[in-house]
Chains A and B, each alone.
Chain A
Amino acid sequence: MVPAIESVGIGRLATCLREAGLLLLLALSVTVAAWLIRPEKMSLRAETAFYELELDAPLIAVADALVLYDTGSHLFLDTRTAGPGSFVTIPGALPVRVTTFDDDLYENRDFLYPEDPVVLFGDGNLPAVSDVAALLLERGFEEIMIMGGDLEAWRRTGGPLADHQAGEHE
């Protein structure tokens, strides 16, 4: 029968520390290599504006939003206030804007329900998108996320875009 715990000598402690140091070095090397080969590199410097915001819904990275879009689990809501005519947006996205919030909810009443999980996106102005999130929360929506980037970031990540006629449902 062996003892459950062995005594720790100086030599063993040194070996242990050396192993831990080498493992840490290995992890650091893997991190640097993974960061270098990643197509969408996360900047090493965190932007104050991104993290100091007080948003009404959790942020989701553009790449993660694209995964949700591909699985079809979430509805995408376009919060940008655009003029009449056509504009580029995410295919299938429903317009829900702060300036015409009630009208947009009424227009989309057959497509959008409070129990639906939704991802909001805008033109990169996150506080403006958050205002729409706050209104949706008031209307009983519970699963709301804000995409942390604009459509240019969406396009760079490989997300599809399509021309959309104002007022048209895809």
Chain B
Amino acid sequence: MFALSKRSLIKLNVNQEEYEVFIRPSDILLFTLREQLGLTGAKPGCYNGDCGACTVLVDGLPVKSCLMLTAEAIGKQITTVEGLKDAPIQKAFIEQFAFQCGYCTSGFLMVCHALANRHPNPPDIVIDEWLQSNICRCTSYEEIGNAIRKVLSGTCK
């Protein structure tokens, strides 16, 4: 049985690199990524799983890192926006002007990237369902939808 009873040194796999970090068992993943690893792409927003600004991928699936313990992520593959490295969705966001202030962008990018990987040809209802996990206060929803559709149609690589 794996156990963490106090502040301990653990290994995390983030963006295909192994990191050693000191964590409290009660630390949340968002905090560890930002404060310990300096990966500030995942944004703190509501801390309550509502806004999606902190979304990262865990084993390829989108997860709100404000609602995941760092301890849960041990042994998982974590991907942050820093790990996308010129993914098609990033190019599409630029081409489609899919952001304004940019605070929500990394969260939307992670959801869109996961969607494109898991459902290469999804119906509109699936696209809508995935995108409804995130909030954009600048209301760039139309452009964000255009960006993901561009990637899914293969016209942005």
The answer to whether A and B assemble together is no
